[in-house]
Amino acid sequence: MSNTSNSVVDTLLKKNILQCGLCKKLLLSTPVMLVEEVGNTCISCFRENFINSKSLQNTAIEELVSSLNYPCRYRENGCEYYCSSSDLLYHEDICIFRSKRCPMWSVCNCTWEGFLTEFVGHFLNYHGEHVIKFDCNLFYLDVSMAEEEVIKLLVTKNIILLLKMQLSIEKNKLYYVVCHVKDDGTTYDYSVKHKGNSDSYIKTRSTVVESKYIYRDLDESIAVSVDLLSLQQTVKVANRITNIFKIKTFDAPAHYLEERMLQFFECPVCKSFMKPPIYQCQSGHSICNSCKPRLEKCPTCRAPFGMTRNYSLEGLTVGVSYPCTFHDLGCMMSLSPADIAKHEAVCPYKPYNCPVHLCTMTGSQDVIVTHLQEFHSEHVIFEGYTETFRLEAYHPLNQIVDRKILLAYDHIFRLTCRRWGDSYMWASEIIGVQNDTKSFVYEVSIIDIKKPEKRLIRTDYCLKEMIEDELLKKCVALPNRILSSYSNNGMVQFHFRVKKGM
C-alpha cells in the first residue's frame, strides 16, 4: 500500500470512523450496526447493549473496512506493518513489537513488561535460576510437594517454551501446561513421565498451547491434571515428584506413522510397549507379559485374564521398530523386539541408581557422579583404600563394616566390607553396567601390621549390582582362623582396590 493510502487510513482512524462507538475497537467483524445516537458498533457491543435500540446494518462501512489495510496496533512500539483486516489479528499475535508481561510476577512479583524480542533476555538475566536448558528435546524437573507454583523457561537449540505447574492440595491434583513464547503457530506434542521412589511411573501427553495460558490459574479446562493420590500409591511419591518431559518436534510422515503404530502396542498398565508374548482378557484387551502376573482382572473392562495370547498383535510386532525404553532419557535407538532387549541392557542412556544406601536419586552416569561428589563425598574414593578393623569373636548378624564408592576407569564401583558369623567378606559391584563385569577384578590384601611384607591376597571378578542376599553368596570370604595369623593385638589391616582384568 502506498504512503498516501496509509495516510488516508490513519486519518479515518484518528476520526474514529473505523472504530466501534462503544468499545473503540476496529470494526473488523460483521455485521456492523449503526445505532441511533451512538454511531457504528461492533456486533458484540450491539448484542450486549443495543439489541432493542433503533438500528440498521451499515453495509457501506463494512465494505470500506474490508477494502482497507490497517496498521499493527503495536506501531507505537516500532512496527510499520499494514495488512488487511483478515490478516491483522494473525499478525498481531506474532508481531515482534508486541509487548509481553513477565510471567514471574506471580512467583516473585516481577513487574517487567517489554517487547517479545527482549522477553528471553529478561528471563535469562533476571530469572536465570528458573531457566532449564536441555538437549535431545528432553529435560527433568523435580517438584517439591511444598511448592504451590513453578514457572520455568525451557530453552534448547531451536525451541523456547514456558512451563507452568501448580499443585492443588485442595483438589488433590498436579496441574501443568507448556506454552509457546512466540505463538508462531508451530505445533509440538510432548509426553511426561511422573516418577517417585519406585520404578513405576504415570505417563501423560499433551500439546504445546498459546502463551496466554501461562498467565492464568490452571484447572482441568486449561491444563493437564495428574491425580496426587495415584502418584502416591502407584509411583510412591513422598516429598518430591520427578517429571521427565520429552518434546516431540518431528513432522516427517514416516515418524508420524511409526508413532501412531506404536500406540497400539502400549500396555494400559505400565505404558511400556508390549512385545511377545502379548496376552488378552476375555473381552480382547491386551496386556504385556510383565503386568499380567500381577493382575487378576483386566484394568480396562474388569474381565478375567486367562492364558489367551493375542497372536494377531504379536504378528504385527515383526514389522515394528521398538524405541529403546530409555528414549525419554535421550536414546534415539529403535530396533526389532528381539534386538531391543539386548540394546537396553547396555544402553548408555540407562539411568543409574545412586549406590549409597537409602538414597533414591537416579540419573545418567554423569549426573550420579556429580551427585555423589556433592552429596555423599564422605563415601567417595578415587583409588584403593586401606582400613584396619578389630578381629572379634563370632557375630550372629550380618554387619556391614565399611562401604565406599570408587570412581575410577570411567565407572562407578561400590566396595563393601562386611562380617557374618566368624568370617569377614569383601565384594565390589559395578553400578549400572550389565556386560562389563569381566573387564575388572577386585583385590583384597590382608596385611600383617608388624611385617608388611607378609600378606594374603585374594582376587575375584567385580560383580554386577545385586541385592544384599545375593552379594553375600559371592563375596571373597576369609574366616577368623586365617585372619588371626595376620592380626596384631586383635587388629587386622586390609587394602581393597579395583584393577583392570587381564
According to the model, what pLDDT value does residue 457 have?
A: 94
Q: Are 138 and 328 within 8 A, CB to CB?
A: yes
Boundary-marking domain end, from 210, 225, 248: 248
pLDDT tens across 448-487, in order? 988 888 999 999 999 988 887 788 788 899 998 899 999 9
Q: Is the same domain home to 195 and 295?
A: no
Q: Is the same domain home to 450 and 377?
A: yes
- Dihedral angle of Cα 217, 162, 222, 269, to the nearest 10 degrees: -120
pLDDT tens across 332-345, in order? 788 888 788 888 87
Residue 234's domain is classified under what CATH number? 2.60.210.10
346 occurs within a structural domain: no
Q: Is the same domain home to 387 and 452?
A: yes
Q: Is the same domain home to 113 and 84?
A: no
Residue 68's domain is classified under what CATH number? 3.30.40.10
Burial bucket for residue 95 (CB in 10 Å: 0-12, 13-18, 19+) = buried
pLDDT tens across 479-501, in order? 988 999 999 888 899 999 999 87
162 occurs within a structural domain: yes
The sign of the CA dihedral 303, 307, 312, 313 is positive
279 occurs within a structural domain: yes
Q: Is the same domain home to 86 and 143?
A: no
User: What does each C-alpha distance from 68 to 7, 63, 75, 80 come to in angstroms?
Assistant: 12, 9, 17, 16
pLDDT band for position 208 (50/70/90)?
very high
According to the model, what pLDDT value does residue 329 have?
A: 66
Entry pTM: 0.47
Q: Is the same domain home to 178 and 103?
A: yes
| Chain centroid, CA 290 distance in Å | 24
According to the model, what pLDDT value does residue 134 have?
A: 78
353 occurs within a structural domain: no
Quick one: what percent of the chain has pLDDT higher than 90? 21
Q: Is the same domain home to 370 and 496?
A: yes
Q: Is the same domain home to 86 and 116?
A: no
Q: Is the same domain home to 438 and 489?
A: yes
In the predicted model, is pLDDT for residue 97 greater than 80?
no
The average pLDDT across 78-107 equals 78
Q: Are 102 and 110 within 8 A, CB to CB?
A: yes
CA distance 322 to 333: 8
87 occurs within a structural domain: yes
In the predicted model, is pLDDT for residue 96 greater than 70?
no
Boundary-marking domain end, from 74, 94, 114: 94
Query: What is the DSSP pairing of strand 463-464 with strand 423-430?
Result: parallel
Q: Which of 2-6, 9-13, 126-130 has the highest mean pLDDT?
A: 126-130
According to the model, what pLDDT value does residue 89 have?
A: 72
According to the model, what pLDDT value does residue 1 have?
A: 44
**Count of beta carbons in the 10 Å neighbourhood of residue 472:** 16
Largest CA distance in the chain: 115
Q: Nine-digit cell at 255?
A: 515418524
CA distance 319 to 324: 16
Contacts with 113 (C-beta within 8 Å, 6 or more apart), sequence order: 99, 100, 101, 102
In the predicted model, is pLDDT for residue 253 greater than 80?
no
Q: Is the same domain home to 241 and 281?
A: no
The sign of the CA dihedral 230, 236, 239, 242 is negative
- Owner of C-alpha cell 591376597: 457
Query: What is the DSSP pairing of strand 224-227 with strand 173-180?
Result: antiparallel
pLDDT band for position 254 (50/70/90)?
very low
In the predicted model, is pLDDT for residue 157 greater than 90?
no
For the chain, give the mean pLDDT.
83
Q: Is the same domain home to 305 and 419?
A: no
| Helix H or strand E encompassing 143 | strand 138-144
Q: Are 327 and 350 within 8 A, CB to CB?
A: no
Q: Provide the phi-psi class of 276: left if phi over 0, else alpha when psi is between -120 and 50, else beta.
A: beta
According to the model, what pLDDT value does residue 249 have?
A: 65
The average pLDDT across 292-297 equals 83
Helix (H, G, I), strand (E, B) or coil at 205: strand
122 occurs within a structural domain: yes
Alpha helices in 59-111 (DSSP H): 59-67, 85-94, 105-108
366 occurs within a structural domain: yes
Instruction: Give the domain extent around 44.
Output: 3-94
pLDDT tens across 395-443, in order? 555 667 778 999 999 899 999 988 887 888 999 999 876 556 568 999 9
According to the model, what pLDDT value does residue 266 have?
A: 83
393 occurs within a structural domain: yes
Alpha helices in 109-172 (DSSP H): 116-126
| Helix H or strand E encompassing 365 | helix 365-375
Q: Is the same domain home to 301 and 400?
A: no
Boundary-marking domain end, from 189, 220, 248: 248
Q: Pick 318 or 93 by higher pLDDT.
A: 318
Give the count of domains, the chain: 4
pLDDT tens across 21-78, in order? 888 888 877 899 999 888 899 998 998 899 888 889 988 888 888 888 888 877 776 6
pLDDT band for position 330 (50/70/90)?
low
